[in-house]
Structures are given as structure tokens and as C-alpha cells.
Structure 1
Amino acid sequence: MKLATFVSVAGGIFAVYGHGGDHEDILQKAESTEQYAARHMASEHHIDSFDSASFFQLHDLNRNGFWEREEIEAIYGVHHVYSQKKSKDEEAHQQKADHIVNTILSLMDVNKDGKISLEEFEKAGLDSLPNFNSLGAEGHHYDVESEFFLHHEEIYHATPESQTDDSYTHPEDIEHFAEHEAIEAEEERRERVYQGIREEGEAPSPSHNTSEENVEIPPAVNPDHPHDDQAAFNAQPVKPKIERVVPSEKLDPSVRFAGAREEGEQKPDWGQGPEGYRRPKSPADKMRRNVPYKHGHSSLSLQYKFRRSWGDF
């Protein structure tokens, strides 16, 4: 019953926030420390029934049984973009994170080990969770699109009547769609740069100067005849000239044995020199001195066989 009453109160609080009211002061006055935990579970997790143990386990992100520094910061959404926007600079943002973590540890860390166990949290209770809305740490967990849907779209634009173009006039709507337009404009700019397209009114870069002194005139090239391909197709290929070589055995003896005698006389006698008793092959070999042609083929074959068996070959 108590929780249901809170949810209705929280809805009224968000209504004020959605229409640009001073929601921080109203939240600080309207909810107790116990109601902060209930509001966080209802708005961020859509959970309306929980106890200390379930709240602790839900935010024990690494499941090691303790709340450590990073998990305490996550409970309050310290590093969410909405929280960062309310920090003056990086140094101020770190001071805010240290203040929130140190406050929680001072309230719950009984053994001073720099982390909070389930037993320590249950001993302190849900009502020990303070409210840091004034610092911009409102407990957001999700990305900007999801947070906009949870905390604004789902509340103020949940019906067809509230989704017309005239309905999106809240400050949150204007800011949200302005961010979308900025993202789209940046994407278009990068696309133009990638494609080398200049923006309207942008002066050309020196590398794109097209004045006459910088224009290189390509050398003159004889244009291709429109029917060159047809001429190449119709041209008959040139057949290579074939020269037939007459085998040596068919040559006229006067040509075949011309110079054989002189060449044979310059060679050592048959059976001497590097060629030894090898069978004569060329006409010059047959004209060597002591070649046994006069004994006929049979006598010559016997001598070859004899010499082979003798081991001179």
C-alpha cells in the first residue's frame, strides 16, 4: 500500500519534471531516503515489489557478494551522460563521484574494508540510501534513448493522441530531437568529406584549383576509327612460310658427301683418338683411315662385336 502510494506520487513528480519544472527541489522534498530506493526500482527497473536482499543482488554487478566503488557509482548513475552534463568539468565530476561513494561507505561499511556486504546493507536497510538528485546523480542506468523512453516518452507520449507532431513540445522533446539533428548533420558532413563534395558556399581547396595555368592538357591522341574492330576482324591472318628440309639420305651424293673426304682426313685413324672404334655415323666418319667398310657389313659387325667384348667400348 505504501509502495503504491509512492508510485502515484512519483508519477506526479515526473509530470512536473517533464514540463520543465524545478523537479530537483520537489523530489528532495517529496521523497524520503526509503522512497528513493522505491523510485529507483520503479523508474529504472520497472520493479514495484522488492526487499533489501533483492535490491542488493540486482546491483551486485559482478556477483561477488559485495558492493564495490564502481557498483556504488552505478547505483546512482554517477557516470551517466545526464550526470556528466551537470558537472562543471572532469575534476568536479570526479569530486562528485568521490563524495557519493564516500558517503555510502561511511553509512554502511562497518568493517571499513572499502566495500559493502549484503549483511552490512541489510543492517543499514533501504532507508539508509541517501538522495543525490541535487548533484545530477539520479540513478540512470541505460543509454540516452532508453532513458528518454522510460522517463518521458512512456509517460507523456504513450497514446496516439500524445504522439502527434504538436505533442512533442516539452523541453525534453526539443532537446532530444535537437541532438538527433546534430548527429544527422555530422553524419552528412562526414559523408560529404568522404565523397569530396563541397558544402554550399564553401571555397574550393587549393588541390582542386581548376584555373587555366593549373590545367594539364592531355597529349593529342589519334582517335580510334569507329570500324577498327571490324577491320581487324575482316583482315586475313598471315600464314607463316614453311621451309621443308630434305632429309640427308635423299640429297644428291655430290651434295651429301661434299667435303666429307677432306674432313675425314683431318680426323685420326679409326680405332684411335676419342672416338676409338665407335661405329661411323657421318660421311666424314666413314672416310676415316682404316674404317673396315671394304669387308662388308658382316665383317664390320663382327669387328664391332669383337671390340665390345674386348672392353674398348
Structure 2
Amino acid sequence: MVAQLLGLIAGALALTSSVVNAHGSHANDNPPSDDWATNHMREEHHIDAFDALSFFTLHDYDSSGAWTPDEVRKTYGLDDETNAGSSEARKQEAVLAVFKLFDPQNTGVITRDSWMQGINAGTRLPDLGFGPGHHGDDEYEYEIHHFEKYHNEYTTEEELTHPEDIEHFKKHDEEELAELRLQKMEQTQVVDVNIPDKFRRN
């Protein structure tokens, strides 16, 4: 299992090498920016050069041409475990703050056009205090924030000894065991005599 995951991670590293600043401290490699989107792209996607339309499209998760409140929430990583300690009211205020900037007509969505109009007028996504916007699945977050920083495609299974490595692969093992238990239960035949009377057909 670990060997397969290492192979997948190594493949992903190779595919993204053109836009990735791999194997280093991203915070130290790139100075902070007042524009939250720039920091987000560096931290979450390892991309330094992008334009406003590309940013919008990348975070238009359903490709509808508009951002919903849920998409803004996802982009800012408000439901990520790193923000579990923040209140729901504070998270809703954060989403509302973004909509006040980019949905001046109160339509309930941020269209591609209203986004571009805001950007062209000098409006930028604010840093709302929720971090860089973790919005990938566990595999992506582990790869982008740990594996690329401390390991590389030549890392062996025996070298994955950091607490983050152990926790990550422990979670995989638990998921695999749960799947095996479910498969075993599904293959178990029902024994008629073990069915309580109240569940039997008369």
C-alpha cells in the first residue's frame, strides 16, 4: 500500500515539476504578499505566475462560470480541519466579506465578469485569517505541504518516519481495514435461525 502511494506521489511530482517549487520551505522561498490569492497559489498550488481569470477558473469547482458561497468557503479552506476551532458565525462572516467585494449587486454568486471587474478596479481577495486555504483532499494536502517539502521521488518507505508520514499512512491503513471488514460483512451469508422473530415474515 505504501509503495503504491509513493509511486503515485512521485508521478504527481513529475507532472507538476514545471510549476512547483519543490523540496523547500515555501514560506521562506517566497515573500508574503498583501494579495491573499498570490499566497494561496504559492502555498496550495505551488504556482507563482497566474492571471485573474486562471485563478477564477481553477476555483470554479463546478465550472458554472460563477462562484457560490460554498465555493468561496472551499477556496478559503473554511471546512478544513485546520479551521475546526473557528466558529460557524466567523466563517459565514468571512464568506460575506468576499461577496461584499465581488458581488456588489447582491446576486448571491460571484460571476466571472464581476470577478474580473473587481480585479481590474484593484480589488483583491483579503486575508481573512484562516490560513492559505487548504482545500484539497488528504492525499493532496500531505503531498503539497509535507512530502514535497521533506521528501522526493527517491524517498524509500523506510525513510518515511516523520510524525506526518506515520499519521498519513496510519489513516490509509485504517481505511483499508475498514474496507476489508465491509467486504467480509457483505460476503457473510445470512443464517435464518439467527434472525430474531420480530424481523421474520409471518
TM-score range (shorter-chain normalised) is 0.5 to 0.7
Quote how far apart the aligned CAs of 1:176 are: 0.5
2:92 corresponding residue in structure 1? 98
CA contact (8 A) 2:75 2:133 kept: yes
Q: Which of 185, 191, 213 in structure 1 is aligned with 2:177?
A: 185
Amino acid of the structure 2 residue aligned with 1:98: Q
Instruction: Give 1:106's aligned amino acid.
Output: K
The structural deviation recorded for 1:101 is: 0.6
Aligned-residue CA RMSD (Å)? 3.5
TM-score (norm 1): 0.43
TM (norm. structure 2) is 0.62
- Give ranges in structure 2 of 5+ residues lacking alignment: 1-19, 195-202
1:71 is aligned to 71
Q: 2:107 aligns with which of 89, 108, 113?
A: 113
Alpha-carbon distance in 2 for matches of 1:115, 1:192: 46
CA distance in 1, matches of 2:181, 2:65: 48
Structure whose CA Rg is larger: 1
Distance (whole Å) between structure 2 residues aligned to residue 188 and residue 65 of structure 1: 41
Aligned-pair CA distance for 1:114 = 3.5
Point out where structure 1 has 5 or more consecutive residues left out of the alignment. Answer: 1-6, 16-29, 198-205, 208-313
Q: Distance in 1 between matches of 2:67 and 2:51?
A: 16
How far residue 14 of structure 1 moved from its aligned partner, in angstroms, is 6.1
**Aligned pairs for 1:31-70 within 5 A:** 31-34=32-35, 36-63=36-63, 65-70=65-70
Which residue of structure 2 aligns with residue 152 of structure 1? 146
Count, aligned residues: 165
Aligned to 2:168: 176
Q: Tell me the distance in 2 between the aligned counterparts of 1:85 and 1:66.
A: 26
Q: Check 1:122–1:195 CA distance in 2 against 1; reply closer, same or farther (3 A cut).
A: same
Equivalent-residue separation in structure 1 for 2:65 and 2:140 (angstroms): 28
Amino acid at match of 1:163: T
Give distance in 1, aligned partners of 2:38 and 2:51.
10
What is the CA-CA distance between 1:158 and the residue it aligns to? Answer: 0.5
Identity level (%): 33
Distance 2:157 2:27 in 1: 21
CA contact (8 A) 1:77 1:140 kept: yes
Aligned position for 1:310: none
Q: Which has the higher contact order (CA 8 A, sep 6+)?
A: 2
Question: What SS class does the counterpart of residue 121 from structure 2 fall into?
Answer: helix
Residues 52 and 119 in structure 2, CA contact (< 8 A), matched pair in contact too: yes
Counterpart of 1:12 in structure 2 is 25
